[in-house]
Amino acid sequence: MAMLVYPIVGTVLPYVDAVEEIPGVVVGEAPSTAHALLGRAPQLVEASLDAPSEKEVASAIAVSDTYTVSDYLPDCDPTSIVENASNGQLPSSELCEIVGGSLLRADAAIAYAEMNAAYKAEFGTDLCVAQGYRTLAQQYATKASRGWLAATPGTSVHGYGLAIDLCDGDYQGTSKAWLDANAETWGFVNPTWAKTKKYEPWHWEYEPATTAMDLYGSTYGNGVSD
């Protein structure tokens, strides 16, 4: 004897149109195959649930207290981040090296690695980062060479390991269009000040962390910039 088994797909509601007795089924005896398959079995209600989008998943990860280490930076540990570390004097334990050699704070580095992988899948090459984390000494040197375009040493977002400056070309044309459309999925933004009082399309920041640190609010004031 062959038995056909059909998978049940849907939400099972065992008491919909339930009856005390099922015709043809005797208590103490197994029901026939026909009754098992075609009798008044539990009713099914069709239901569907849309899967979350890539952006929704990435956004949830960005603000979560639980982190998953990136396959692209397997040795980068975001739990090593030290709260209230001094600008430009971050311990090496909380910095990770991204493609190209620049350093970022671990959480920003992981997000960047994932973003860069998507960018590379689209364009066939890595994003080029001219600079990431800046030590305090590097901030003084940048201030001396760039003047008003550079932040006061000790206030730079680069000094927190949360900003990148892209190389020439990667913040223009199709690359810029891709970043504008997609970078925020991984938490990176070209901040408002870089579009208004200072035009720096090359400057991108890891927004979940700058928001958590209140870098543009009451705690640090509005002087933080490149």
- The 10s digit of each residue's pLDDT in 4-26 is 444 444 444 444 454 455 455 55
Q: What is the pLDDT of residues 157-168, one digit of tens each?
A: 999 999 999 999
Residue 126: other Cβ atoms inside 10 A: 14
| Spatial distance between the Cα atoms of 12 and 25, rounded to a whole number of angstroms | 21
Give me the domains of the chain, ranges plus CATH numbers: 1-49 (no CATH), 54-212 (3.30.1380.10)
**Whether the Cβ atoms of residue 119 and residue 165 lie closer than 8 Å to each other:** no
Burial of 121 (0-12, 13-18, 19+ CB in 10 A): exposed
The CA-to-CA distance between both ends of the chain, in Å, stands at 77
Q: What is the pLDDT of residues 104-133, one digit of tens each?
A: 999 999 999 999 999 999 999 999 999 999
